[in-house]
Structure 1
């Protein structure tokens, strides 16, 4: 392999890893934004990985660290960095595939977690004192107001003790309160599905970039190894 070809591969590796690093940084920032502004954290507690923000932050952090190593390895032509980058990136890609398979296989179980956690949150809401479980109450009220829904399966879940967040009017007349009839379970589940669809598209894009980086790393490492380069 001549030097011009090596320089071309090295440039591609650096730019692709930098692009992947930017994607990872954006994913972390977006995940943090969701964690700060989302109203679901206290309602879905049994199976925390279904919460999109958690997945975004963890995945994005790992991607940025690994891709940064790839950028440094390509720029310095360091065999140690390149082989470490190759191994870590290969493991990361396997983990991404495993996560995709888990969510595909256990999609029905995830629906069960949604229903169980929301019902538990609703019961806690009803049994709490006016000043108790303030965070959970605020989150449940925010969900009902945002999605224009009431209860988990419907307004009947409240058994007559319907909160003001179910009211269809704003401001609400307590004496003549008309409530949303549709439950929040379907709407919240659909919201999560849409978020994971966009998250999945981003992960697939990063996976393709990672695969290309993995393919470029092999010939570069072999070239440096044959010529005894890369450890200085």
Structure 2
């Protein structure tokens, strides 16, 4: 009886393991179209790996996050990323970092990270943050979660949800964001909808936003 139970346990474990290891890894870019011609292979889902014997401590080191980004722009904000491109040792580890700087009343516009959850920590200043839930199953309104954060406060933006950060103080502010992907991706809502190349049809946007076509054209001109 004991032997039978042990065999049954091993069978169940094997079946469970086959399910666990049958899934694909998460994507690290929007898409990766397969090709059999290496000459046409422009991007890979990640980065090539350095020979372990050639790795040094410098591969796991980056500096410069003590320096504010340039916020002299229309939104009054700057993002300084620390991902695998800036810190090679992050490759395959599934994490990245960014410094966000804000001029007084500077804004990081509504955007999403399609491949990462973001943990946002205020280092200086007072920052108003929020995110919006995805479309509810019962077709009710999307719910907005907001909070005013001060130095030392932490807020989480779930993966893929639209979120924003606004400096509501009269002095510059900055924060650090940790992200659960080495390549989280950024989709800025306004740029994607109104500034794509080629542009989305005015008819589509006019109906979607219930606005006059001339208003849509004016908004598109801003992007």
TM-score, length-scaled by structure 1? 0.23
Higher strand share: 2
RCO higher in structure (CA 8 A, sep ≥6): 1
Which structure shows the bigger proportion of residues in helix conformation? 1
